[in-house]
Structure 1
Amino acid sequence: MSEFLSVEMLKSLLVYNPATGVFYWIQPKVLQKLRPDGRAGSLGRNGYEYIRVNGKLYLSHRLAILYMTGSRPEADVDHINGDTSDNRWVNLRGATRQQNLWNSSPRAKKIVRQKGVWRYKQGYRASIYVDGRSRHLGVYSSAEEAHAAYAAAAVRLRGEFART
């Protein structure tokens, strides 16, 4: 997104409801074929909501930051509750790329479905990424023990961005 929409243009076309996180077209009759309720945007396969303005696709959560603050988001926008389709103002915050990744869910294809825990030889290994490097937290007899070690380290190292 090299050329970002101006706040003036955005507010002339759309209205954002911060309580619901939904954008509406100001002139829905023009776009009635798309959505009769005037709601703007559609959900992508990746779980993010997109809005097409003047032929260009924008992420709704980035437009919400622009709409509410008057300036373009400089870094990532994090969904606090992890739901990428929840664009309520209270659920959005600025974050670095690393902080945004810290607040992500565990990967679906993992054998052990707990964040920070991997199956390891005769037990479960706990590890956490810090400053781009994996930090070993120990090997435990159960996935729950390993996850407890990860959770404690995440809260200590990541603060409000820790997702355990």
Structure 2
Amino acid sequence: MCNDIPTKGYVDPGSGFTNSTGFDTVQTDQCCNICADGGVTNIGPYDYLLLDLMWNPTFCNALEDGHDFTLTHMPSMRCSPSLSERLSIHGLWPSWLKTFGTCCNATGSNKPLDPHEVTNEWDNSLRLRMLEDWYDPVLYNGRFNEDNGCQICYVQNHEWQKHGA
């Protein structure tokens, strides 16, 4: 699962970027808790849902230029050429009119996804559809299926913990 991808705590010596998404350790294959060090914001009712889409040509070009507006990739990571012309879902976020919420862990239930549970217990048709439309163009391995388990920790877990969606 996800070989050669830095795990939590990795600091890029060039940019100083600290990876806080993906796998906690390579040995455990467990997703990072991206909210462990952050504070809770906006735990009340939200005003609207924001569907955030990502146009991969723009994202991939920015990544080539050293800019990652998702803040989830190391500077040397690049998009898979086969996905550079697609539109993908980035997230569905509960949002507020005057502020931005993140890591809304009011009940303590905002824990990292378990990639094995997602692979084995989620409805297969929903999971496969999510992998087709909600993916990271950097991590795609050539097939939209359960073999691409790193999508769970790098995309779905990041969005689930940060935004609850």
TM-score range, shorter chain: under 0.3
* Relative contact order higher in (CA < 8 Å, ≥ 6 apart): 2
Larger Rg: 1
Report the TM-score, using the length of structure 2 for normalisation. Answer: 0.22
Counting strand residues as a fraction of each chain, which structure ranks higher?
1
Give the alignment's TM-score, normalised by structure 1: 0.22
